[in-house]
Chain A
């Protein structure tokens, strides 16, 4: 029994890692005011880039770097459309998803069925991983997990306690006030969207060079959309996202395990989405101020003239 629990927790942390990474990025983007529905596509791009580069260079860390760069580059499309062209962010986000998924499938086709010789394995942390029970579960995880946790804390810190964070949040709440204080809102939004791309790509890379060591089309399996739900469920707070990511991840791990108990896995799979709606519902009933949604999310902002 105990082993089952440990295994479940371990797998939950693994499942939640890409979710957390993607969510951190999406939080930054949405807090600056840009809704980015392209996460699924960017994740796929990250996964395939990491795989291809690792395959050819034999160095998964190089693959990771390449993935992050690729994710950032492709996100420029959405940033350009949303910030400079002021187009409908829903439409351009969907375009990014389609393009990302498509490109990933196309570029990855020759690599299907050719697993990597090397991947990023779990890295136990000395001493800490020897702590009974807790040790092997938390401290014997893939480096992606450690990075995700550190980044979650780091980004939280950045948003709350640094000047950059205040500027990002203000750009999403009141771009006009932000602009009159001498801050370049467009630049902030560009950087936020591009940065979010890097995070999503990292999440994708985890899937192809750490979680598994192969590439198949459709690898992301809707995780990008879960990220979007998770961002809201976490109320745009990276620390809450940690809890949410592992909660959602846990549901997917438990999905089929609880079946013998008579709990339908499909019902369980519905829960994250229902939970997100519930969070919004409750927030909508009470004072929406507490909801923390960036006030100008998805509203295009044009600088200047009357």
Chain B
């Protein structure tokens, strides 16, 4: 792939990227979420088309305008989120994309192929089983067979171990080794350093849409890789003045939460957040932080443990009750959860507070007060809009985020939970939002910040916890020198011993 560039709505997802793979080689594509790895591979697989650049196979320039074209060229992809029809059997799923499937009784021929694959890679898959009956590891194997059955010379794997247990991961590594021996070309997308180091021959590191480095197997050093991935040597920033610790606002005790698929994604987390403090949860997306935030704000049930706000037990209370206790939430997917896009700005400005006395008189909404409040809000939070009578979906992403943030902060909540608040925003909006979070802190509020952006974490947080696979790898004060290892903690390779972290209340 040569000089590939791609933008979405003005945001550069891929910026002039060059990548090369040869047969019998596993190339690792390393980077945080949002670095552009998946976008790049989706271009290779034909789901997106690049704005600029070209793709060559064996020196010949080719054009890939759909997944079908990609499959025809011998490229197969196993996506991070499986593309399987849950209600159908293994055979039916594989038959779907098999280019040479016979029209009549395709099951017969495919069953044979499945069996031969199973023997080759020791897969042990029952072809007649329905997908929903299989474990994550087994489903992944189905995806791999799907990709290979069309004779893919190049196999793209997107975060393949994100849903696997340690045992399944070990099995998976063996499969990859065998493939490499067979001369297969593999591109492995991952944020996990252990994996990259163990499996890959070469590594390309992406950050914020650009290539920031290549490395060979012999020169793989986890620390260097981590530094390339997050883009900095850790700098200690004291732009915040230290504030004395006051009362506890949030207390989370041994909480376990189930994910959408039904198995636990938060496995016993305990911590506390105090007034005048910004507590950061750092970690790559998908390690349980979203579900944890949802549990705290009442959008998801807790299967074990307790959550207290100002010493009031709010475990599994309704979202509205928790909001009334003084918790505000800036959600991760802001368009999806934070606003009703077709409604006007002033209507969204009171989305969670519409039932409060200050905005309503009995059953009626007090539009006068609502509009005044909105005007104040967009002034205070610098939301750029021609008027408040505009449909909310017409604002830019940054302004929507500012609106949501303003809405949540204006309440002066005791606890503000902010999930990836500046993701995808331009520099100006980012700076502004971060200042607002700091202001909240100074005013006496507590802020729980979930973010993948380490710049943000270091700039804002008093204490930092690193989450990996549903656990906190450690909780550190921001001036703790072990922060330098944060990249490794995010990638799962380092675990602070209990008691060494800043989780004890003083």
B436 → chain A, closest Cβ, in Å? 28
- Across the interface, A182 reaches (CB within 8 A) one of B71, B88, B104, namely B71
B345 → chain A, closest Cβ, in Å? 24
Does the CB pair A162–B103 fall under 8 Å?
yes
- Identify the 6 closest CB pairs spanning chains A and B, nearest first: A181-B97, A182-B68, A177-B83, A173-B85, A174-B85, A181-B96
Beyond known contacts A181-B146, A183-B97: 12 more, CB 8 A cutoff: A162-B104, A164-B103, A166-B92, A173-B85, A173-B86, A177-B85, A180-B67, A183-B96, A295-B87, A305-B8, A305-B48, A306-B48
30 contacts between A and B (CB under 8 A): A161-B105, A161-B106, A162-B104, A163-B106, A169-B88, A170-B85, A173-B86, A173-B87, A174-B83, A174-B84, A174-B86, A177-B83, A177-B84, A177-B93, A178-B85, A180-B67, A180-B79, A180-B83, A181-B67, A181-B96, A182-B67, A182-B68, A183-B97, A289-B86, A289-B87, A295-B86, A295-B87, A304-B47, A304-B48, A305-B48
List of A residues within 8 angstroms of B85 by Cβ: 169-170, 173-174, 177-178
The distance in angstroms between the C-alpha atoms of A190 and B254, with both chains bound, is: 53
* Interface bin, chain B: 20 to 34
The distance in angstroms between the C-alpha atoms of A176 and B97, with both chains bound, is: 13
B347 → chain A, closest Cβ, in Å? 23
List of A residues within 8 angstroms of B87 by Cβ: 173, 289, 292, 295
Per-residue A-contact encoding for B346-364, CB less than 8 Å = 1, 0 else = 0000000000000000000
Q: Please give the residue numbers on chain A whose beta carbons come within 8 Å of chain B beta carbons, in ascending order.
A: 161-164, 166-167, 169-170, 173-174, 176-183, 289, 292, 295, 304-306
Chain B positions 1-42 with a Cβ under 8 Å from a chain A Cβ: 8
Does the CB pair B83–A166 fall under 8 Å?
no
User: Known contacts A295-B86, A306-B8: does B104 contact A166 (CB below 8 Å)?
Assistant: no
B101 interface hit (Cβ, 8 Å): yes
Does the CB pair A180–B95 fall under 8 Å?
no
Residue of B nearest to A161 (CB): B105
Residue of B nearest to A291 (CB): B87
List of B residues within 8 angstroms of A166 by Cβ: 88, 92, 95-96, 106
Does the CB pair B103–A163 fall under 8 Å?
yes
The distance in angstroms between the C-alpha atoms of A305 and B97, with both chains bound, is: 21
The distance in angstroms between the C-alpha atoms of A164 and B101, with both chains bound, is: 10
Residue of B nearest to A178 (CB): B96
List of A residues within 8 angstroms of B68 by Cβ: 182
List of B residues within 8 angstroms of A292 by Cβ: 87
B186 → chain A, closest Cβ, in Å? 19
B382 → chain A, closest Cβ, in Å? 27
Does the CB pair A173–B106 fall under 8 Å?
no
B68 → chain A, closest Cβ, in Å? 3
List of B residues within 8 angstroms of A182 by Cβ: 66-68, 71, 97, 99
A183 → chain B, closest Cβ, in Å? 7
B102 interface hit (Cβ, 8 Å): yes
Interface centre among A161, A166, A170, A179, by most B CB within 10 Å?
A166
Does the CB pair A289–B103 fall under 8 Å?
no
B67 → chain A, closest Cβ, in Å? 5
The distance in angstroms between the C-alpha atoms of A295 and B97, with both chains bound, is: 19
User: Known contacts A161-B107, A163-B106: does B132 contact A289 (CB below 8 Å)?
Assistant: yes
Per-residue A-contact encoding for B53-88, CB less than 8 Å = 1, 0 else = 000000000000011100100000101000111111
The distance in angstroms between the C-alpha atoms of A182 and B77, with both chains bound, is: 12
Does the CB pair A180–B103 fall under 8 Å?
no
List of B residues within 8 angstroms of A176 by Cβ: 83
The distance in angstroms between the C-alpha atoms of A164 and B105, with both chains bound, is: 10
The distance in angstroms between the C-alpha atoms of A281 and B103, with both chains bound, is: 37
Does the CB pair A163–B88 fall under 8 Å?
no
The distance in angstroms between the C-alpha atoms of A161 and B89, with both chains bound, is: 12
The distance in angstroms between the C-alpha atoms of A184 and B219, with both chains bound, is: 45
List of A residues within 8 angstroms of B84 by Cβ: 174, 177
Interface centre among A163, A169, A180, A306, by most B CB within 10 Å?
A180
List of B residues within 8 angstroms of A178 by Cβ: 85, 96
The distance in angstroms between the C-alpha atoms of A164 and B103, with both chains bound, is: 7
List of B residues within 8 angstroms of A183 by Cβ: 96-97
Residue of B nearest to A177 (CB): B83
The distance in angstroms between the C-alpha atoms of A293 and B131, with both chains bound, is: 16
The distance in angstroms between the C-alpha atoms of A180 and B93, with both chains bound, is: 12
List of B residues within 8 angstroms of A169 by Cβ: 85, 88, 92
Does the CB pair A173–B47 fall under 8 Å?
no
List of B residues within 8 angstroms of A180 by Cβ: 45, 47, 67, 77, 79, 83, 97
Does the CB pair A163–B83 fall under 8 Å?
no
Does the CB pair A163–B95 fall under 8 Å?
yes
Does the CB pair B97–A163 fall under 8 Å?
no
List of A residues within 8 angstroms of B8 by Cβ: 305-306
B472 → chain A, closest Cβ, in Å? 32
Residue of A nearest to B133 (CB): A289
Per-residue A-contact encoding for B107-151, CB less than 8 Å = 1, 0 else = 100000000000000000000000010000000000000100000
List of A residues within 8 angstroms of B101 by Cβ: 163
Residue of A nearest to B47 (CB): A180
List of B residues within 8 angstroms of A306 by Cβ: 8, 48
The distance in angstroms between the C-alpha atoms of A162 and B47, with both chains bound, is: 27
List of B residues within 8 angstroms of A164 by Cβ: 103
B79 → chain A, closest Cβ, in Å? 7
B10 → chain A, closest Cβ, in Å? 13
Does the CB pair B88–A170 fall under 8 Å?
yes
The distance in angstroms between the C-alpha atoms of A166 and B92, with both chains bound, is: 6
List of A residues within 8 angstroms of B106 by Cβ: 161-163, 166
Interface centre among B96, B99, B102, B106, by most A CB within 10 Å?
B96
- Across the interface, B96 reaches (CB within 8 A) one of A170, A295, A305, namely A170
Residue of B nearest to A294 (CB): B87
List of A residues within 8 angstroms of B105 by Cβ: 161-162
User: Known contacts A176-B83, A182-B71, A289-B87: does B47 contact A163 (CB below 8 Å)?
Assistant: no
